[in-house]
Amino acid sequence: MPSFSRTCLLSFAGAVVTVLALSVSAQSAAPPQTPAQNWPWMNKALSPDQRAQLVIQQMTLDEKLNFVHGTGWNGLREHAEIPKGSLGGAGYVEGVPRLGIPGINMADSAVGVRLSGAGSHYATLLPSVLGAASSWDPKALFLFGDVIGRELRETGYNMSIGGGVDLARDPRNGRNFEYAGEDPLLAGTMVGNIAKGVQSNQVMGDIKHYAFNDEETGRNIFNAEITQRAARESDLLVFQIAIEMARPAGVMCSYNEDTITPPDTSPDWSCQNDYLLNQVLKKDWRFQGFVLSDWDGTHSAVHAFMSGLDQEQPGSIYFGEPLRKAIEDGQVPMSRLNDAVHRVLRSMFANGVVDNPPQTEEVDPFLGRRDAEHIADESIVLLRNADHILPLSAGSVHSIALIGGHADVGVLSGGGSAQVDAPGGGAVNSHSGSAHWLEHVWFPTSPERNIRLHDPAADIQFNEGADVQSAAALAAKSQIAIVFVTQWMSEGMDRPTIALPDNEDALVEAVAKANPHTIVVIESGGPVGMPWVNQVEGILAAWFPGIGGAQSLADILFGNVNPSGRLAITFPKDDAQLPRPQIPGLMAETEPGGLPEAAHQHKPVPFNVDYNIEGARVGYKWFESQHENPLFAFGYGLSYTTFAFSDLNVDVTQRTATFTVSNIGSRAGGEVAQVYAILPASTGENTYKRLVGWDRVTLDPGESKTLTVPMNQLTLSIFDVAKNAFVMAPGDYTILAGSSSADTPLHATVHVE
Ligand code: BGC
């Protein structure tokens, strides 16, 4: 969200005046009313498209125009007026009460419903999306969306504007925690399931930020450069998979500019890029919902509207009076306005928000916490377990030093528009109301308390970790040391480096030196560097673990839950291994830390981000094609038991890989069996493998299961620009199966004619 500025305030004031004027004239122009029960569009036997058509026939120009823009900044900005009917969420679109059509109340809800503090109600904080995606469990992600949809409905909202799925091209992107990682098939499937879960509650869903908003630095000014083929096989593919799976009501276009070649010959904003919106999204993917701009991401009236943007948010700078004039002058045909309105209305009918408006009731915090904990159980990734330090055994651990990360009181959450308000105002620096922008918020769920519950007899002491020496002294006199390190992330900023902030590396090193039995728990938005990796015995990636995270962590530390999360993103050794060792534009914006907010004040120079360096080789594909070993590979994660893979058979006609997974250890546990393909040399994309399918399986000790994993046609294919289609190239395909992108013991070669 751009900062609160005088210019925005003025334009907002303009928007209010416009909206008031529109609603007055709408009323005066309204035809006489038919009794509600006779409205033909209320006939549920008709299709959403038929019902939308019937409503449009009754709508005045003013009413139609109201549907293609928002009503202002609502609850997001101090002093912004909250229009009648709005709940004060991020966006509001006026309805047509005389025709029984409700307004659209939109809430940010990437990892839970935002602004609950301002509304004095409770909202469940789920694990980060990146964490949840590390479960590789579509059911868990559906549940994730279900929690959000349920709580939106219970608080009166009928549209989520969560659903972030930008590909993790850069591990330092401040919003990676809102996204589902670096692989198009995994991320698209995960976020598609979130949107399905949201929409299962008769709440409209959304997928964002379309497209290439893969860094936050200069997000309002950078131009993403990429070839069409690479685009279709990477950032656009992830959207395609999520959108075709969930059929969301909305797709939010992004702030940045793009040059996708061909057809683009010069940069244009995502929210007015004809290729992205009209050609790919609406024509190729047959998206029937509406495109809404990111907040203040609209740049023109006629150009944007004709390029496929259906709704300006949050105000009406372009799609208010300027669009009305363009329609009256014949620059924009009425058919296009009807099309945009149709898309909004048909989405409302299709998702039940007209027939079944939200019924507000109290959110059940206990239900939400249980769901969040279940997802966290599957999300946390065990990265290292030297000498089987984990799981801890309550009977034999007599003293534990807990160090850092405010682990005595809470767990960290991510910031920006994804921020969920902590009940009671947060475990650290608590205050009433909603969290402030860029505030670091700890949720009141205490790892220390939960660890004590598992080992009540142990001497457990906490040291906040600010003073390295005293932390090391506590570690030295304890049997086990557990260090909690944190890396806060937020919209509006990137981390300049993957290295941990605030002297945390020195803290871990000192503790590890003082105590050979050191375990590190990482609460982070994404990958972090670990110069101490071989000096500690245990490492857990807990992401931002959500309101059930402390329970999950303690259960995993003590073995009540066997870790089954697998990385949805590569952990590089350091920044030098990345396609862009420095974040483009970070130097162009002086302070603080390359914030886009700073961009508004300093009039920075627009810059290009060259995504052709890696092209479609995002994440692990880049590492493999460069013959670079990361710190931890995509798909990696340990268990307290051991799995073996055997007997691969590939059926080319059915596009399936069949193989057996066995639990050869002594505990029950979950494995994510992953299937990758290396394409024929003729594609030029044979220097790396790509995920084509997976299955998650839970096995008792000694148990084996034969899995038949469908292989996704899209990721087995390359994008043929001339044909505008994905095609499978003829030739030899290597199919691999195993437990991570770097560990694929099973291979088979199949020939495709
Ligand atoms: C963010 C969106 C968010 C919107 C409304 C923008 O700054 O990029 O993701 O939905 O604000 O809060």
**Alpha-carbon gap, residue 480 to 401, rounded angstroms:** 6
Which pLDDT value is given to residue 602? 55
Tokens of 513: 């030196």
592 pLDDT higher than 50: no
**Residue 62: pLDDT over 60:** yes
Token code pair at residue 410: 């809470």
Mean pLDDT of 583-610: 65
Share of the chain above pLDDT 70, in %: 93
Q: Where is 260: in which H helix or E strand?
A: strand 257-261
What is the average per-residue pLDDT within 678-706? 98
Q: Is the CB of 378 under 6 A from ligand 1?
A: no
The confidence score (pLDDT) of residue 119 equals 80
pLDDT higher than 80, residue 13: no
Q: Which residue type is seen at 75?
A: G
The alpha carbon of 348 and the centre of ligand 1 are apart by a number of angstroms equal to 21
Give the pLDDT band (50/70/90) at residue 480. very high
Of the listed ranges 31-40, 341-350, 402-411, 620-629, the least confidently predicted one is 31-40
What is the Cα–Cα distance from 309 to 277, expressed in whole angstroms? 7
The Cα angle at residue 602 between residues 596 and 606, in degrees rounded to 5: 65
Instruction: Determine the pLDDT at residue 181.
Output: 98
Check residue 603 and give its pLDDT: 61
> For residue 341, what pLDDT is reported?
98
Q: What is the DSSP string of 367-413?
A: HHHHHHHHHHHHH-EEEEEGGG--S--TTT--EEEEESTTTTT-EE-
- Residue 417 Cα to ligand 1 midpoint, Å, equals 6
Q: What is the mean pLDDT of residues 251-267?
A: 97
Give the position of tokens 């050609």: 279
Residue 6 has pLDDT above 60, yes or no: no
The residue whose two tokens read 């009460």 is: 97
Which residues on neighbouring strands pair with residue 253, listed in sequence order? 210, 293
Instruction: Give residue 506's pLDDT.
Output: 98
pLDDT of 598 over the 60 cut: no
Does residue 287 line the site of ligand 1, with CB under 6 A?
Answer: no
For the chain, what percent of residues have pLDDT higher than 90?
Answer: 88
The pLDDT tens digits for 311-360 are: 999 999 999 999 999 999 999 999 999 999 999 999 999 999 999 999 89
Q: What pLDDT sits at residue 30?
A: 52
Q: What is the pLDDT of residues 711-731, one digit of tens each?
A: 999 999 999 999 999 999 999
Q: What is the number of the ligand 1 atom nearest to the C-alpha of 417?
A: 12
- pLDDT value of residue 8: 30
Instruction: Give the number of C-alpha atoms closer than 13 A to the C-alpha of residue 483, restricted to the C-beta side.
Output: 35
Average pLDDT over residues 652-672: 97
**Given the structure tokens 């009323």, which residue do they identify?**
27
Nearest CA to ligand 1 atom 3: 417
Contact yes or no for 522/482 (Cβ under 8 A): no
Report residue 274's pLDDT band, with 50, 70 and 90 as the boundaries. Answer: very high
Q: Whose alpha carbon is nearest atom 7 of ligand 1?
A: 1
Residue 576 burial (10 A CB sphere; 0-12, 13-18, 19+): exposed
Which atom of ligand 1 approaches the CA of 209 most closely? 9
pLDDT exceeds cutoff 70 at 373: yes
Q: How far is the CA of 68 from the centre of ligand 1 (A)?
A: 18
Q: Alpha carbon of 651 to those of 72, 655, 710, 734: distances in Å? A: 55, 6, 10, 12
Buried-exposed string 631-640: b where 16+ CB fall within 10 A, e elsewhere:
bbbbbbbbbb
Q: Kindly give the distance from the C-alpha atom of residue 314 to the centroid of ligand 1, in angstroms, as a whole number.
A: 10
- Nearest alpha carbon, ligand 1 atom 2: 294
Q: Which atom of ligand 1 is nearest to the CA of 161?
A: 10
Contacts of 183 (CB under 8 A, 6+ apart): 568, 618, 619, 620, 634, 690, 691
**Looking at the predicted structure, is the pLDDT value of residue 48 above 70?**
yes
- Residue-wise pLDDT for 83-119, tens only, equals 999 999 999 999 999 999 999 999 999 999 998 878 8
Asked which of 116-125, 243-252, 416-425 is least confident by mean pLDDT, the reply is: 116-125
Cβ(107) to ligand 1 under 6 A? no
Instruction: Indicate if ligand 1 lies below 6 Å from the C-beta of 154.
Output: no
Tell whether ligand 1 has an atom less than 6 A from the beta carbon of residue 108: yes
Q: Is the CB of 101 under 6 A from ligand 1?
A: no
161 lines ligand 1 (CB under 6 A): yes
Segment 220-231 shows an average pLDDT of 97
pLDDT for residue 134 is more than 60: yes
Reply yes or no on whether the pLDDT at 595 is more than 80.
no
Mean pLDDT of 243-253: 98
Residues 6+ apart with CB under 8 A from 215: 169, 170, 172, 173, 222, 494, 583, 584, 585, 609
512-550 confidence digits (pLDDT tens): 999 999 999 999 999 999 999 999 999 999 999 999 999
The answer to whether the CB of 236 falls within 8 A of the CB of 211 is yes
Please state, rounded to an integer, the average pLDDT across all residues of the chain: 93
Q: What is the pLDDT of residue 525?
A: 98
Closest Cα to atom 6 of ligand 1: 1
Q: What are the backbone dihedrals phi and psi of residue 465, each rounded to the nearest 5 degrees, phi first?
A: 85, 0
pLDDT surpassing 50 at residue 272: yes
Separation CA 604–CA 593 (nearest Å): 14
Q: Which residues contact 677 (CB under 8 A, 6 or more apart)?
A: 689, 690, 692, 711, 715, 716, 733, 734, 735, 736
Cis peptide before 365 (omega within 30 of 0): no
Q: What is the set of domains in the chain, with CATH numbers?
A: 6-24+46-350 (3.20.20.300), 620-626+638-752 (2.60.40.10)
State how far the Cα of 510 lies from the Cα of 517, in Å rounded to an integer: 13
Going from the Cα of 176 to the center of ligand 1, the distance in angstroms, rounded, reads 14
Using the mean position of ligand 1's atoms as its centre, give its distance from the Cα of residue 90 in Å: 8
Ligand 1 site, residue 253, Cβ cutoff 6 A: no
Average pLDDT over residues 602-611: 84
Q: Is the pLDDT of residue 31 over 80?
A: no
Nearest alpha-carbon partner for 112 in 177, 170, 167, 168: 177
What pLDDT sits at residue 98? 95
